[in-house]
Structures are given as C-alpha cells and as structure tokens.
Amino acid sequence: MIFKRLYLLLFICASGQSLANVHVHGAGSLFIAQDNNVWLFHYELPAADVFGFEHQPENDKQRDIVLSRKHLLNDAKHLIQVPAGCSIQAHDVNFPFDDEGHNDHSAGHDSHHNSSNEHGEAHEHGEAHEHSEAHEEKKAPEHNDVEIAVTLKCKPDISNITLTLFDHIPSINSLNVVWATNVGQGSQTATIKTATVRI
C-alpha cells in the first residue's frame, strides 16, 4: 500500500521530467520518494551494464555472473550509503531473466543447435520456414533493465544521499536521479564524481 503511494507520488511529481525511461547503456536512473519517515529508492539499470549482456544466461560463465550480481545488488550498501538513523525495511531485486534452473536449457540448447543444422539442410529444399522465423526472433537485439527497490525507515529526514553503485557497477557512467520529498522535488544527473545528491 505504502509503496503504491510512493510510486504514485513520483509519477505525479516527476511527470514533467523524463521519467519515461530511455534505455541507454551506461546510464541508469534512480527515483527517490519520501512518505514521512519512509523512503523509497528505486533503481533502473540497463542489464548490459549489470551483466555485460542482456539475454538469458546461456552458459555457466554467464550464469555465474548473474548470480554474483544478484548477491551484489541484494546488499543495500552497494547501492547507497544507508544514512545514520535509517533501517532497511524492504529490498527487492528484479532481474529480467532467471539466474538458475537453466541447466536443462543449456543441454536443450546444444541439441537445438544440432537440429537447427538439420533444419538448415531441410531449408534448401524449401521447407521449415517456421524455423527460420523463430531464429530471426531469437537474434533480434534485446534490451532489458534490472530494477532494485530499497525502502528505508529513517528517524531524521535525509537531506543528502551518497550513491555507491558507481563503485560496484563501473560501466554505469551516470544516473538520472529524480526525487519527491516532503519538502520538494528535483532532479540531478549523478556521476562517480558527483555521487552525493542533495535532496
């Protein structure tokens, strides 16, 4: 319930700004909303910056990357410096794809490739057009975002927040920070050199 209020607040306050998220690699966004002593920090990051790829992990190396990033982003200190007097109420990480349970898929994948060769041969005979379409779909460039929401409960009001994400996801060059607090609203582009945002 309170999350809905916070998100609604953000959409109302930030509607004049570029909340419509444009997917640009190297650039993420952070929405900050205050509802009295509850603060929401909502990150949206291009999957390309978080993982180095934007598709389902296809091998063990990529699955390891996804798992390690999940561990990293599940720790709030890798996102923000939690201010004194604040405690973490909730922390949700939403990946665009699964990090586990695709071992079977991997095996299936190989056999798929084998069979696709066979289909390629069949193709010369003017068959299996459906398979051709399926392949084009698969090769189409994908863009995905990772979403992370951290909710803090703070005794004193926060007047600034230091973003630690730049240290941990170095390919993020900038964050479009938009906030709506009890005292006002604003936006700023944060970088590793301007990682403390006055809100």
Stretch that binds Zn ion, among 40-48, 65-73, 77-85, 190-198 (CB under 5 A): 40-48
Stretch that binds Zn ion, among 34-42, 45-53, 58-66, 149-157 (CB under 5 A): 45-53
- Taking CB atoms, the residue at the shortest distance from Zn ion is 143
State in angstroms the smallest separation of the CB of 121 from Zn ion.
Answer: 34
Residues forming a β-bridge with 94: 147
Q: How far is CA 87 from CA 54, 75, 95, 147, 175, in A?
A: 32, 13, 24, 20, 24
Interacting positions 81-140 with Zn ion (CB under 5 A): none
Stretch that binds Zn ion, among 28-36, 46-54, 78-86, 96-104 (CB under 5 A): 46-54
Stretch that binds Zn ion, among 48-56, 114-122, 123-131, 150-158 (CB under 5 A): 48-56
**Residue 5 near Zn ion by CB under 5 A:** no
State in angstroms the smallest separation of the CB of 72 from Zn ion.
Answer: 19
Interface characters, 53-72, with Zn ion (x: CB under 5 A): -x------------------
**Residue 143 near Zn ion by CB under 5 A:** yes
Stretch that binds Zn ion, among 44-52, 106-114, 164-172, 179-187 (CB under 5 A): 44-52
State in angstroms the smallest separation of the CB of 169 from Zn ion.
Answer: 14
**Residue 48 near Zn ion by CB under 5 A:** yes
The Cα–Cα gap between 37 and 86 comes to 9
Q: Which CB, 99 or 145, lies closer to Zn ion?
A: 145
With beta carbons less than 8 A apart as the criterion, state whether 48 and 65 touch.
Answer: no
With contacts defined by CB under 5 A, how many residues of the chain interact with Zn ion?
A: 4
Q: Residues interacting with Zn ion, by CB under 5 A?
A: 46, 48, 54, 143
